[in-house]
Amino acid sequence: MAGIVEDFQALPERERLQLLLEFSQGLKPLPAEFEGHLEKMERVDECQSPVFISVDVEGPDAGNAVHLHVSAPPEAPTTRGFAGVLQEGLEGLPAQVVLDLPGDVCHRLGLDQAVSPLRMRGMTGMLARVKRQVRVATAA
């Protein structure tokens, strides 16, 4: 995730939104188990758009690797971009690394001027849901 934050910070403010939109295009499709079954995922109420998240955490033998699945509508490219940043940035990280991420990591992307506060709140909500699901998965 740190590398993605560095990529955003290295760009002029105007170009950061373009990078966010590129992440929206890279959001991975849902696995078959969730396709058409969003009720199996957790809704992120802080998002203006209907966003759903599910986190898988592999067992200790696999290093407690985190895998994030997200459904975000194509007509919400900013939201999809945030989801793409989280999906790519967290993919395969150990659960403890995800839990240790600072709560303001979303603001560290430097998008506060380009994106509305409501959208920033949505991304913060996505990260909070991910962390909660990781805590639940690793406590079991």
Decide if 106 is inside a domain.
yes
Q: How far, CA to CA in Å, does 118 sit from each of 11, 15, 24?
A: 23, 20, 18
pTM exceeding 0.75: yes
> In whole numbers, what is the pLDDT of the chain averaged over residues?
90
Give domain status of residue 36, yes or no.
no
- The separation between CA 70 and the C-alpha centre of its own chain, rounded to angstroms, equals 8
40 secondary structure, DSSP code: G
Q: What is the CATH number of the domain that holds 16?
A: 3.90.1010.10
> Is residue 67 a part of any domain in this protein?
yes
Q: Give the count of domains, the chain.
A: 1
pLDDT score at 51: 95
Tens of pLDDT, residue by residue over 2-33, are 899 999 999 998 899 999 999 999 999 999 99
Domain of 125? 2-30+42-139
Residue 37 lies in a domain: no
Count of Cβ atoms closer than 10 Å to residue 82 Cβ: 32
Question: Does residue 17 sit within a domain?
Answer: yes
What is the rounded average pLDDT of the residues 100-107? 84
In-domain check, residue 35: no
pLDDT band at 95 (very low <50, low <70, confident <90, very high): very high
